[in-house]
Structure formats: structure tokens, C-alpha cells
Amino acid sequence: TTSLRTLAYSNGPQGDSYPDTALMDLKITGDGVSAGPTPASFALSGALPDLSGAPLAQHRSIELSEDPSAPNFFVNGRQFSMGAPTFDTPAKLGTVEEWTITNTSGEDHPFHMHSNAFQVTAVNGIPAPYPHRQDTVIVPHAVNGTPGRVVIRQQFSDYPGLWMFHCHIAAHEDHGMMGYIQVNP
């Protein structure tokens, strides 16, 4: 028997705090099963390739910010508009880009990319411990005036069109912290 818990979490001095809370109790019954052999490698067959050595077609910057006196959130100083892509220059299908995402606000922002998993290469200057793909990463809040910073590599290999990204806190997205990039063939 054990409990599944959410740990206490604060997303920064400007954000929210959540308590350590029990979510459910688990009770496992039945006969035990012995563990299988330990794999020699944790590499998964079919896993997406490591992008850390890939040639880069473009470097891009994204700044996440907010107005602490009102519920207004921004990507590169602008609130979301479907009529205006975040970047003037589209991405090209079949290329890899490196994006540096900074957060100037006093709360963490979970950056989420629709329909594409990216590879995190560094958080606040610390290299990522292993290569893998994910669709969301926490961009840490600013500390003593120094923005939080995440560097990702994006591979545009699936399809042309509009690729959306936003803060994964729904209220932040709904109040402007969202954007998109045009991906051309």
C-alpha cells in the first residue's frame, strides 16, 4: 500500500504555490513477480535521433513576459494574434533550428509546442543530461533580474503549415502568451 502524491510546488514569487497533497491511495494485491534482466542500454529502438550535432538552419529567440498588474501575457512583446506569426521568417520543412526561450517574469512558464516534440539542450546554462524529445518544458522565472533560459532544438520534419506554441498554463495562453511559426515546404 502506498499513496500517490503531488509534491509541494511554487512556480515563482509572482505565481502560485501548491501544497503537498495526497491524490490517491494504492493497494496492490496478488502474487509478486520477479524483475526481468537489466538492459545493457536504455536506448529505445525507433527513438528519434539526438539533435545536438545536427546542422542548424536558424537560431531564433522567444521572450516570455507578462504585465504583473493585469492579466496580460506576451511572446516577444506581443499578445497572440492569429493574423501575425511570431517570426517574420518562416521555417523550412526538413531543417533543424535552435530556439532560445527566455522568461523575464517572476513565475515559471511551461512552454508547449503543438504537434512536435523538441529536444532540450540546456536550462539556465546547464546542459541537459541526456537527449530525448518532449513537447513541454518549464522555462524558469527570472531571479534577481536575470531571465530564466531554456535552449531547445526543433526538427521540422512532419508537415508544412502553422505550428502553434504557448504557455501551458491555460490562463496565460488565454491572455496572450501564445504564438506560431509558419513552416514552408
* Cα Rg of the chain (Å, integer): 19
Residue with the larger pLDDT of the pair 82 and 7: 82
| Assigned domain for 17 exists | no
Query: CB under 8 Å to 117, separation ≥6 — which residues?
Result: 48, 133, 134, 135
| Assigned domain for 14 exists | no
Beta bridge partners of 96: 155
- Write the DSSP assignment of 75-141 as a string of letters: ETTB---TTS-S-SSPEETTEEEEEEEEE-SSS-EEEEETT--EEEEEETTEEPSS--EESEEEEPP
Which amino acid belongs to residue 184? N
| Assigned domain for 49 exists | no
| Assigned domain for 21 exists | no
- Contact, 183 vs 160, CB < 8 A? yes
Per DSSP, the three-state class of 171 is helix
Task: State how far the Cα of 111 lies from the Cα of 27, in Å rounded to an integer.
Answer: 35
pLDDT average, residue stretch 128-143: 93
CA-CA distances (angstroms) from residue 97 to 11, 52, 118, 140, 151?
28, 11, 10, 21, 11
pLDDT band at 88 (very low <50, low <70, confident <90, very high): very high
| Assigned domain for 3 exists | no
User: How many domains does one find in the chain?
Assistant: 1
pLDDT in tens, 70-87: 889 999 999 999 999 999
| Assigned domain for 41 exists | no
Q: What is the CATH number of the domain that holds 113?
A: 2.60.40.420
| Assigned domain for 74 exists | yes
Give pLDDT, residue 43: 63
Residue with the larger pLDDT of the pair 97 and 71: 97
Range of the domain at 179: 58-184
pLDDT in tens, 22-65: 999 999 898 888 888 877 666 667 778 899 999 999 999 999 99
What sign does the dihedral 159-163-167-172 (CA atoms) show? negative
Task: State how far the Cα of 46 lies from the Cα of 158, in Å rounded to an integer.
Answer: 16
